[in-house]
Amino acid sequence: MEQGIQQGMEQGMQQGIQQGMEQGVEQGRMESTLKSIRSLMKKKGWSANEAMEALDISPDDRIAIAAQL
């Protein structure tokens, strides 16, 4: 029984680590995208929508991104 608990804990930790890494990658991707949008807006004088169009950002992602600009 104790061995089963230990295995369960190890599996839980591995899953937690994996989820954390995936979230970190996604957060980094979002930060990079936001930086690119802000740069285009500043340097080209574009609106957020124009910058997102130029970067070929999907309509679903635009909603989440616009909330962070």
Task: Give the predicted TM-score (pTM) of the model.
Answer: 0.71
- 11-36 pLDDT per residue, tens: 888 888 888 888 888 889 899 999 99
Residue closest to 37 by CA, chosen among 48, 45, 29, 25: 48
- Asked if 47 contacts 41 with a C-beta cutoff of 8 angstroms, the reply is yes
- 43-57 pLDDT per residue, tens: 999 999 999 999 999
